[in-house]
Amino acid sequence: QGCAQKYIVKNYFYYYLFKFSAALGEEIFYITFLPFTYWNIDHSVSRRMIIVWSIVMYIGQVSKDILKWPRPLSPPVVKLEMRTNAEYGMPSTHAMAATAISFSFFIATMNQYKYPFELGLAAAFVFSTLVCLSRLYTGMHTVLDVIGGALISAVLLVLLYPAWDTIDHLLLTSPFCPLFSIVVPLVLCYNYPKLDYYSPTRGDTTTILGAAAGATVGFWLNNQCAASAHTGTGVQPGLPLASSTVVFVLARFFTGILVVLLTRWLMKSAVLGVLGYRYQFPMGDLQARRRLEVEVPYKFVTYSCVGLTATVLVPLLHQLLGLM
């Protein structure tokens, strides 16, 4: 499974389009788009997307390891990715994440900002469709996997939408929010379904829940400190951007991403160093890092710090630098 297949690219437009689209369902997209929304568009929209994203992704990841439906056989399918090949196929979490993020963004913004309803709906549909098609093109999922993932995500959105405001209010005001936000995800990570072999699903799930936990605690802290926790001061979609506004948006984004990536690197090194000392393994030992007692705390602590940094420290830095 670890051997790359040989293939010939006959259409570079489709190849790069769908390789890029596949990346829209991976960590590189989450760690850029979700913070960008929080720093530059609207805090309430970002909060709702993160809540939906974490719930949808947890259900999708767990469903894979419970159903245990295999990915498409290769051959005849040529697989353009190898990392996720060790995971099961049904449902496609790329399809779930794309549907959840695009449509939750659309639903959360359509009543707050003035833009054509049809344009927002079309953008959400195109985004999710491109990601879904990329999973077929790269050979990682069947049509049923993709349709199943999109439908599950749509059903979860319908079920969660009526409770959005209530959940958001509780996460901002409840004194139990920090405890709940940390303990519940940790319990879910430690009790993740066990497989007969190693799969990256548990680690990916821990990453997602850790980031959401840190961000949720950050939302609560901001609200307790009377920060602007409801509406951001950033750009409103659909309005023409002045050149100075674009400069501020880019400055906030690149400053924030630099701090977030630095936090991830520092915390990863520190936590792995502590765990390596505790369990007597070198930091480069991949097998040791896959053990439950190592993988869960290392990824949860690292990414909860990333989420906390993105929602608390980065906005403070923006204020100090005069970027707000």
Q: Residues with catalytic annotation?
A: 94, 141
Contact partners, residue 153, CB within 8 Å, separation at least 6:
56, 60, 95, 96, 97, 99, 100
Q: Alpha-carbon distance 209 to 307, whole Å? A: 10
Q: How many CB atoms lie within 10 A of CB 221?
A: 16
Q: Which tokens belong to 257? A: 């991403």
Helix locations, the chain, DSSP H: 12-23, 27-40, 43-67, 93-110, 117-137, 143-160, 164-173, 177-190, 201-224, 243-279, 286-289, 292-308, 314-320
Q: Is 193 helix (H, G, I), strand (E, B) or coil?
A: coil
Contact partners, residue 284, CB within 8 Å, separation at least 6:
none
Q: Which tokens belong to 167? A: 């959940």
Q: Which tokens belong to 320? A: 């100090």
Start-to-end Cα distance in the chain: 48
Q: Alpha-carbon distance 137 to 142, whole Å? A: 10
